[in-house]
Amino acid sequence: MENNSLATFKFEKPIIYVTFIGNEATDESFEEYTQLSNKAYEWKRYGMIYDVSKMKYLPAKYRIIQGNDIQKKENEIRQQSIGLAIIAPSFVQRIITEAVFAINAYPSKLKVFKTKEKAIQWMNELLEAEDQEKLV
């Protein structure tokens, strides 16, 4: 059986790991990706780590849907998201990703990394800082 998904999801509360697997987007695969992404809102607090290393170009139709979805859920993201770390090993991927979010700011902390290790380290730092705030 062929896997036509856009990404794999690994839910390890409070972190959600999303790894794009290199398939072209279809209406069905994008809908599945959106539904799985929206599971984050079921958690009081979450952080997301996106690995876009193998991600194919996302057609404008899906980028618009995703942008509209982020706008609709802006308050939830702002209140519930610890942060979004994006792993983009290629220099070009990092520049493009940073440019996209410079134009359309994400409602939570966001940082682009070259390696998975750095992305996880940053997310852990955010979690530790949040835990320290609870103690004060």
Provide the CATH number for the domain around residue 43: 3.30.750.24
- Going by pLDDT thresholds of 50, 70 and 90, the confidence category of residue 134 is low
Whole-prediction pTM value?
0.89
CB atoms within 10 A of CB 79: 12
The answer to whether residue 88 sits within a structural domain is yes
Could you read off the pLDDT of 29-81 as tens digits, one per residue?
999 999 999 888 888 899 999 999 999 888 989 989 998 999 999 999 999 99
Parent domain of 84: 7-135
The answer to whether residue 73 sits within a structural domain is yes
What is the C-alpha to C-alpha distance for residues 8 and 135, in angstroms, rounded to an integer? 35
Query: What's residue 41's pLDDT?
Result: 86
CB atoms within 10 A of CB 112: 21
CB atoms within 10 A of CB 68: 10
H or E element in which residue 113 lies: strand 110-113
Task: Put the strands of the sheet holding 46-51 in their side by side order.
Answer: 7-12, 15-20, 46-51, 81-87, 110-113
The answer to whether residue 24 sits within a structural domain is yes
The answer to whether residue 81 sits within a structural domain is yes
The answer to whether residue 115 sits within a structural domain is yes
- Split into its structural domains, the chain has a count of 1
From first CA to last CA, the distance across the chain in angstroms is 52
In single-letter form, the type of residue at position 71 comes to Q
Using omega within 30 degrees of 0 as the cis cutoff, is the peptide bond preceding 14 cis? yes
